[in-house]
Amino acid sequence: MKHKGMMIILDGLGDRPVAALGGATPLEAAHTPHMDAMVAAGRCGLVDTLYPGMPVDTHTGAGVLLGLKPGDAFHLPRGPVEAAGTGLPIMPGEIALRCNFATLEADGNSLRILDRRAGRISEGTHELADALQDIPLGEGFTASIRPATGHRAVMRLSGPGPLPEISDTDPGSSAEPCPVSISHSLDALNPLGEEAANALNRLVREAHARLDNHPVNQKRRQQGKPPANGILTRGAGTIGSIHNILHHLGLHAAVVAGERTLVGLANLFNFTAISQPGFTSMPDTDLAGKIAAALAALEEHDIVFLHIKAPDIHAHDRNPVAKKEGLELIDNALLPLLREEIVIGITADHTTDSNTGRHCGDPVPSLICSAAGRKDKCNEFGETPCLAGALGRIRGHAFLLSVLDEMQCLQNYQTADSPYYI
């Protein structure tokens, strides 16, 4: 008899020891009786979402946990995932790019980044995006931008022919202030590569010119907030064919999330995407509402993925105390799950080090709990206790398979299964 399953993805859950927490990680320092109870009733371990030691982004780590074949994860750029999450159509030959609204300032003939997230702007982004529609960039190139979640947005770049991947203008988590990166072609065989990169560089300058004195930014300056007067881009590309093990098994899946990246993955995989106004990608998300929505979705689906972004936000802000306290809030919200006879998996898409604010390649603490499943001797949920767990150290795809096996949804391996595993 098959069992229902729920996988809870706590974005950026893993961490490294923090001096301010007495050398513990935020999860180890947190009081998490409900997750501890799940560990005591099941088994735990450490999960490398892609490969040991390899840092990954949310779309890569979460994509694998949602059933994406690991080999396909290497060819899944972030831009098209974000586009799918916002409903921005990308036609053949166009490329999609993930963007940040950022705070920039002129520095001679270049631009300098003061804040990559413009103070984590959450209001006014639709008005800013309205000023960045169908921008002519010369040589047959145009660009349009649509807001996503918080400070994030997505861009569609169109040109006179099929466009290749181009490099980021966002330098990432470098120390600010720092220059905006110059985009270049990543495909030497495509003659449009450098033209597309140059068009993107023109777009960055044009966006700054249009946004610097926008009414939204005039108001933000009056309020003492950093202006969102620029755009940074990364993750350009398109999506080819993708394989998902859940479809191969004939399972019906749903994703509960407030993060456009997870909604985009759900849309790409033809899962049911469940989001409500109170479901945000910030620590103020409606945790109780998300849990209730996930349980309701189980009535019509075989497995539900519940995504919670808050741990990653706190770690990127280098605030391990807030991450610890946020994990305690999440744990408290999980109480209704202890009364359900379902297979529960808790894991993360990656580790985010709250000392540095960056993703790192450390494995993430993970657990699987079900009434009929094996148990180990662990009684606490954390990076160190999970070292001794019965799951051992496994990859993200194997963690999903372990959950599916406890749900009794797997068959013995057959050669026809190979496109979904390798």
Give the helix ranges, DSSP H, for 224-382.
Answer: 245-248, 260-268, 287-297, 310-316, 320-333
Taking alpha carbons only, the member of 297, 294, 302 closest to residue 252 is 302
Per-residue pLDDT reduced to its tens digit, 146-185: 998 889 999 999 999 888 889 999 998 766 789 999 999 9
**Which residues have C-beta within 8 Å of that of residue 142, sequence separation ≥ 6?**
134, 135, 136, 157, 158
Beta-carbon count within 10 A of 161 CB: 12
- Considering only the C-alpha atoms of the chain, give the largest distance between any 2 of them, rounded to a whole number of Å: 68
Task: Please tell me the distance from the alpha carbon of residue 43 to that of residue 68, in angstroms, as a whole number.
Answer: 24
> What is the pTM (predicted TM-score) of this model?
0.90
What single DSSP character describes residue 330? H
Query: Are 27 and 381 in contact, with CB atoms under 8 Å apart?
Result: yes
- SS3 for 232? strand
The string of pLDDT tens digits covering residues 273-321 is 999 989 988 898 999 999 999 999 999 999 999 999 999 999 999 999 9
Read off the pLDDT band of 126 (50, 70, 90): very high
Class at the top of the CATH hierarchy for domain 5-76+240-420:
alpha beta
Q: Give 113's contacts (C-beta < 8 A, 6+ positions apart).
A: 102, 103, 104, 171, 176, 177, 178, 179, 180, 230, 232
Mean pLDDT of all residues belonging to the chain: 94
What's the pLDDT at 175?
Answer: 67
Q: CA 191 to CA 129: how far, in whole Å?
A: 30
Taking the C-alpha atoms of residue 186 and residue 258, their distance in angstroms, rounded to an integer, is 32
Find all residues with CB under 8 Å of 263, minimum gap 6, and list them.
84, 85, 255, 257, 273, 275
pLDDT tens for 179-218 read 999 999 998 888 899 999 999 999 999 999 999 999 999 9
The secondary element (H helix, E strand) that includes residue 338 is none
Q: Where are the domains of the chain?
A: 5-76+240-420, 88-237
Inter-axis angle of helices 58-65 and 396-406, nearest 10: 30
| pLDDT for 356 | 95
- Which residues, 6+ apart, have CB-to-CB distance to 162 below 8 Å? 92, 93, 190, 192
Q: Quick one: angle between helices 320-333 and 287-297, nearest 10? A: 40
- Determine the average pLDDT of the residues in 380-388: 97
Mean pLDDT of 386-391: 96
How many whole angstroms separate alpha carbon 87 and alpha carbon 104? 28
Q: 141-147 and 152-158 as β-strands: parallel, antiparallel, unpaired?
A: antiparallel
Pairing of strands 392-395, 95-107: unpaired
Q: What is the mean pLDDT of residues 340-350?
A: 96
* SS3 label, residue 36: helix
Task: Answer yes or no: are the C-beta atoms of 58 and 312 closer than 8 Å.
Answer: yes
Reading the block at residue 410, the tokens are 């797997």
Both tokens assigned to 411: 């068959």
